[in-house]
């Protein structure tokens, strides 16, 4: 018996694990392995067909919706992690698959190295949405650069796209967006900031601050 197997058996005995415990853990580990392998393969296949850049070490669990308008860019840096499976997601169920979509040749979605998404909807209609290195996006968040309709007069909302009102969104490095956040057009979120769950970000967020609420406001500065 190899030393590694002997050590594993000793750990099982010391922790008092039952056969059902082992089977349960085996299901978790097996699903993670298979879901990750298949999801990552499909991500790379879709990205290759659509002209989307995917960096080294990216992984994907579940299905991802990718839609790139001709001339636009969608780029995933090294080590990006995308979760679209409720089985794989740690903190909550995923309401819908992660979606990355552009609507105009000028649109850009840039995910820097180590970004993690969980059932995230990112829509760049005509401007740039950039998410910085190491940023974590919790389940079911929405990030967009547009209102998608003219605000006024009301009778023009259905047929006036108002592209001139679109604005870039920049999310800094090592930011943490809590569950069900909404980040609206024209917002810059500084490095290291935390956006509390359920917040709607309508204005810039200073670096190293905690913001919360609708609309999100600074609660405190982080150490």
In the set 95, 149, 174, 221, the catalytic residue is 149
Secondary structure (3-state) at 85: coil
Q: What would the DSSP string read from start to end of 109-177?
A: EEE-TT-EEES-EEEESSSEEEE-TT-EE-TT-EEES--SS--SSGGGTTT---GGG---EEE-TT-EE
DSSP, res 192: T
What are the angstrom distances between the C-alpha of 145 and each of 7, 10, 117, 119, 124? 53, 55, 18, 18, 5
Nearest-angstrom CA–CA distance, 191 and 203: 15
Nearest-angstrom CA–CA distance, 199 and 183: 8
Q: Which two tokens stand for residue 138?
A: 């919790």
Is 149 one of the catalytic residues? yes
Q: Where are the alpha helices (DSSP H) in 2-138?
A: 3-15, 19-50
Report the sign of the C-alpha dihedral through residues 152, 155, 157, 159, in that order.
negative
Nearest-angstrom CA–CA distance, 124 and 166: 9
Asked if 166 and 145 count as a contact pair (C-beta separation under 8 A), the reply is yes
Catalytic residues: 149
């Amino acid at each position: 018996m190899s030393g590694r197997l002997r050590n594993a058996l000793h750990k099982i005995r010391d922790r008092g694990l039952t056969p059902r415990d082992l089977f349960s853990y085996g299901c978790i580990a097996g699903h993670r392995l298979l879901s990750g392998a298949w999801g990552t393969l499909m991500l790379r296949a879709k990205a290759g067909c659509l002209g989307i850049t995917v960096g080294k070490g990216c992984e994907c669990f579940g299905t991802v919706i990718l839609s790139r308008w001709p001339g636009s860019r969608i780029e995933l840096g090294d080590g990006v992690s995308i979760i679209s499976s409720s089985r794989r997601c740690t903190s909550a169920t995923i309401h819908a698959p992660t979606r990355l979509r552009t609507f105009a040749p000028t649109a850009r979605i840039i995910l820097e190295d180590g970004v993690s998404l969980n059932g995230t909807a990112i829509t760049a209609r005509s401007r740039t949405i950039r998410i910085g290195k190491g940023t974590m996006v919790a389940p079911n968040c929405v990030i967009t650069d547009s209102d998608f309709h003219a605000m006024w007069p009301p009778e023009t909302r259905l047929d006036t796209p108002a592209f001139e009102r679109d604005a870039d969104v920049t999310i800094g490095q090592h930011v943490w967006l809590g569950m069900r956040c909404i980040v609206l057009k024209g917002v810059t979120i500084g490095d290291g900031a935390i956006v509390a769950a359920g917040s709607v970000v309508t204005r810039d967020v200073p670096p190293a601050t905690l913001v919360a609420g609708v609309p999100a406001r600074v609660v405190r500065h982080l150490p």
